[in-house]
Amino acid sequence: MNIVLCGMMGAGKTSVGIKIADLTGMRWYDTDDLIEQKYGKISTIFEFYGEERFREMETEIVHAVSDEDNAVISTGGGCVLRPENSAALKKHGKIVFLKVDIAELFERTGHTSDERPLLKNTTFEKMKELLDQRTPVYESCADYTVDTNGKDVEGVAREICAVCGAEISR
């Protein structure tokens, strides 16, 4: 069984995924990292090829990692917006939505627009609109929702291990 983390950019998917892998001994994959290893920087992909081409690359990576077993998979913020991605990830895994409120999200990501193309020149209002659009999709594909507001990475990781039945070995 895999543990798949979804949610907005800045929800903590990477940090929490690494911590879950550390606690359990599971392998960890980050779909954005895998895209960058194979195709180059995400910001460059967006700039030269557009979001649609990026989403195609993301789907290819999702299909490659979704057949793994005993892995933690941190997805990009828009990954599960494609139903085929969430279906592939559910095949061998439980999807956990890392929920975070807009104030905390903006505080975490408002300054990272160079690394996150969809947040380039963003405002609090634009980010709230994106969160409002995506939250119903995250909720509908998730097996579990974990609120990350005001919680530390290890606490969130342990909560996810508990709800997913992942044995903590470290």
For domain 2-164, say whether CATH 2.40.10.340 is its number: no
CA distance 36 to 127: 24
For the chain, which residues make up each domain, given as ranges?
2-164
CA distance 125 to 66: 34
- Average pLDDT per run of 10 along the chain, which is 170 residues long? 94 96 97 96 92 96 95 96 96 97 83 54 82 96 95 96 92
Can you point out the beta strands (E) in the chain?
Answer: 2-6, 27-30, 71-74, 93-99, 144-147
User: What's residue 126's pLDDT?
Assistant: 85
User: What's residue 121's pLDDT?
Assistant: 61
User: What's residue 77's pLDDT?
Assistant: 92
User: What's residue 123's pLDDT?
Assistant: 80
User: What's residue 169's pLDDT?
Assistant: 87
CA distance 26 to 37: 21
Question: Model's pTM, two decimal places?
Answer: 0.92
User: What's residue 117's pLDDT?
Assistant: 55
